[in-house]
Chains A and B, each alone.
Chain A
Amino acid sequence: MNIEDIKKPENIVYRKPALLTDNIMHYCPGCSHGTVHKLIAEVIDEMGIQDKTIGISPVGCSVFAYNYIDIDWQEAAHGRAPALATATKRLCPDKYVFTYQGDGDLASIGTAEIIHACSRGENIVVIFINNGIYGMTGGQMAPTTLLGMKTSTTPYGRDAKLNGFPIKITEMLAELDGTAYITRQSVHTAPAARKAKNAIRKAFEYSSKGIGLSFVEIVATCNSGWKLSPVEANRWMEEHMFEKYPPGDIKDILK
């Protein structure tokens, strides 16, 4: 038997999602961004909504998300994606509109935008990549950086007196009446990635029901910023990040 005999549609168990482009990803090996991109591409493809989906990518490591998923994209200023998404969805109500934001983007500079988009109950999806650090600018402290965690602007570890406390923005947003579905996931193992994909799909489905904003936090690794190998970064995330940011559904108004 040669390889061509095996390459039959019925034998395929894994393939690159149809909506991921062939552009070479700039993410560091082991970075969670690429995995989440793949899940989003699969969901859009499986729901058959490529021509109805508009993605809004932020400033942050995922600023080039628009190079990787084959849909129409807007690139937003740092923190402002929920404002772009608000107008896009209100002006094009038949579209699926999602933002893809880092922790610095969403929980620091863009806090006002995300809180008010949630509070207004905009019918959009927000994917929130919480890696506890500013990946793009070289590993500075993020609002979600854990106490004691070393970054380039907390070289002796985050100290509550000096730097304040890490912010659990996802729980805060769940308090707002305009949010419909709020969940926290991760993508560091195959089962976790499968669960995260289901959550992303549910968020997209909810966004067309007119019931408010759907929010999927992904607790993520930034192995370059954390200065750990990909495997060590996954372990560190399980041991430390999950304690502060435990995975699981936080709010589902249809349940």
Chain B
Amino acid sequence: MAEKVLMKGNEAIAISAIRNGVDGYFGYPITPQSEVMETLMKEKPWETTGMVVLQAESEVSSINMVYGGASCGKKVMTSSSSPGVSLMCEGISYMAGAELPCVIVDVMRGGPGLGTIQPSQGDYNQIVKGGGHGDDHNIVIAPASAQDMYDFVDWGFELAFKYRNPVVILADGVIGQMMEKVEMHPMKPRMTDEEIREKAPWATTGKPSWRNYNIITSLSLDSDIQEEFNRKLHAKYALIEENEVKYSEYMTEDAEYLFTAFGCSSRICEAAVDILRSEGIRAGLLRPITLFPFPHKEIKRLAARMKSMMSIELNFGQMAEDVRLAVEGQCPVGFYGRQGGNIFTPEEVVAEFKKFNNIQ
């Protein structure tokens, strides 16, 4: 049996980074995710695995440190919360354009502006639809437990290197702050220089005589070359949509009504499904685990046999738009959400469900 330890989601990110051979973490404090860097600093991984941990002067700097480290073929990451991620968007776009792998953790809080420090899912559009200027996509994975926080670091880097693309772990304040038991997997060593040369032959590792020099850039002044590159990027995104969609289903087998929810909302919806089932109402839940790529096909397939669907989010219905696109009008799609850092209870979700479906 692997070791199980009680920890916060944010701590799980830090511990997982050390245990999964991450080379560098660069960050700037912001609630509700400061425990990530605090845990790393306490653990001093530079003395054990050699991992570099640095508190940057801003999120603008931390994402550009990630850009520099990723350019060297290293496994590098940062974490922040909504306002900080806004500052990172230029850097994220540059990394998409330079095709650099990295993992960015966004522990979302209520917005807009400085907003609240309480949980939110209000940055869905910002992160899932792009994350910076230009015609690009992040790979976005949405944890719903401290265990997911732990596991998604390694999975995130696997996807990031496989596709040479930024990966965002889109969490929320609940998942970051909540304490749960986390199962530790065996330690993975950091990549050797040899492995980096093999895995990232494009990286700036110093030009030896036997190869041309490597350039990490997102610049081309020629429209045709840029268009060609954008086509290549979009072929990559199509491949990601083909191969990497991940979701989970709860009580969908015989369901007549379907909730869609991600992150902490999906945990609350599971409890709402249980309440409805206890009253004889056949409800189920689809939780997208990858938000890009989005489980369009699976939602479309399930929608064909639903009386209705409802998207439950801590925002004003950002994912609901994607759900409606996927459903293609096969059944009505409702929405319920809370904002500003407020969270719905399962009972509240059940009441809204009944209102939407005219069930007494």
The answer on a CB contact under 8 Å between B206 and A86 is no
Q: Does chain B have a CB within 8 A of A83?
A: yes
Per-residue 0/1 for A34-54: is the Cβ within 8 Å of any B Cβ (1 yes, 0 no)? 000000000000000011111
The answer on a CB contact under 8 Å between A71 and B207 is yes
Per-residue 0/1 for B19-33: is the Cβ within 8 Å of any A Cβ (1 yes, 0 no)? 000011010000000
Q: Which residue of A lies closest to B93 (CB)?
A: A77
* Best-buried of B64, B90, B218 by chain A (most CB within 10 Å): B64
The answer on a CB contact under 8 Å between B216 and A86 is no
Which listed segment binds B: A6-14, A87-95, A153-161, A234-242? A87-95
CB within 8 Å of A: which of B57-94?
Answer: 57-58, 60-62, 64-69, 71-72, 74, 76, 90-91, 94
The answer on a CB contact under 8 Å between B61 and A112 is yes
The answer on a CB contact under 8 Å between B24 and A90 is yes
Question: Which chain B residues border A70 with CB–CB below 8 Å?
Answer: 207, 213
* Best-buried of A53, A74, A86 by chain B (most CB within 10 Å): A74
Question: Which chain B residues border A53 with CB–CB below 8 Å?
Answer: 206-207
B97 to chain A, nearest CB (A): 10
Q: How many residues of B contact A (CB 8 A)?
A: 38
The answer on a CB contact under 8 Å between A90 and B54 is yes
Given known contacts A87-B66, A91-B24, A91-B74, A77 and B204 CB-to-CB distance under 8 angstroms: no
Question: Which chain A residues border B204 with CB–CB below 8 Å?
Answer: 54, 72-74, 88
CB within 8 Å of B: which of A99-139?
Answer: 112-113, 115-116
A197 to chain B, nearest CB (A): 21
Q: Does chain A have a CB within 8 A of B345?
A: no
Q: Does chain B have a CB within 8 A of A146?
A: no
Q: Does chain A have a CB within 8 A of B208?
A: yes
CB < 8 Å neighbour of A76 from B23, B56, B64, B215: B64
Q: Does chain A have a CB within 8 A of B52?
A: yes
The answer on a CB contact under 8 Å between A87 and B24 is yes
Question: Which chain B residues border A74 with CB–CB below 8 Å?
Answer: 67-68, 71, 204, 215-217
CB < 8 Å neighbour of B91 from A73, A80, A92, A112: A80
B333 to chain A, nearest CB (A): 39
Given known contacts A72-B205, A91-B52, A116-B57, A86 and B217 CB-to-CB distance under 8 angstroms: no
CB within 8 Å of A: which of B139-196?
Answer: none
Question: Which chain B residues border A87 with CB–CB below 8 Å?
Answer: 24, 26, 52, 54, 65-69, 72, 76
Question: Which chain A residues border B219 with CB–CB below 8 Å?
Answer: 63, 75
The answer on a CB contact under 8 Å between B205 and A86 is no
Work out how many contacts link A and B, with CB atoms closer than 8 A: 122
Question: Which chain A residues border B72 with CB–CB below 8 Å?
Answer: 54, 87-88, 91-92
Q: Complex: how many Å from CA A149 to CA B209?
A: 47
Q: Which residue of B lies closest to A57 (CB)?
A: B217
Question: Which chain A residues border B217 with CB–CB below 8 Å?
Answer: 66, 73-75
CB < 8 Å neighbour of B52 from A51, A77, A90, A115: A90
Q: Which residue of B lies closest to A49 (CB)?
A: B206
Q: Complex: how many Å from CA A244 to CA B214?
A: 39
The answer on a CB contact under 8 Å between A83 and B69 is no
Question: Which chain B residues border A20 with CB–CB below 8 Å?
Answer: none
The answer on a CB contact under 8 Å between B205 and A80 is no
Per-residue 0/1 for B194-229: is the Cβ within 8 Å of any A Cβ (1 yes, 0 no)? 000000000011111100011111110000000000
Q: Complex: how many Å from CA A75 to CA B213?
A: 13
Q: Complex: how many Å from CA A88 to CA B132?
A: 23
The answer on a CB contact under 8 Å between B76 and A91 is yes
Q: Complex: how many Å from CA A50 to CA B211?
A: 12
A204 to chain B, nearest CB (A): 14
A206 to chain B, nearest CB (A): 19
The answer on a CB contact under 8 Å between B207 and A83 is no
Q: Which residue of B lies closest to A71 (CB)?
A: B207
The answer on a CB contact under 8 Å between B215 and A54 is no
The answer on a CB contact under 8 Å between B64 and A84 is yes
A residues bordering B, Cβ < 8 Å? Answer: 50-54, 56, 63, 66, 70-77, 80, 83-88, 90-92, 95, 112-113, 115-116
B residues bordering A, Cβ < 8 Å? Answer: 23-24, 26, 52, 54, 56-58, 60-62, 64-69, 71-72, 74, 76, 90-91, 94, 98, 204-209, 213-219
Give 7 A-B contacts (CB < 8 Å), ordered by A residue. A52-B206, A77-B67, A88-B71, A88-B72, A90-B54, A95-B206, A113-B57
**Known interface pairs A50-B206, A75-B98, A76-B68; 9 further A-B residue pairs with C-beta atoms within 8 A, sorted by A's residue number:** A53-B206, A70-B213, A72-B205, A74-B216, A77-B67, A84-B67, A87-B72, A91-B68, A95-B206
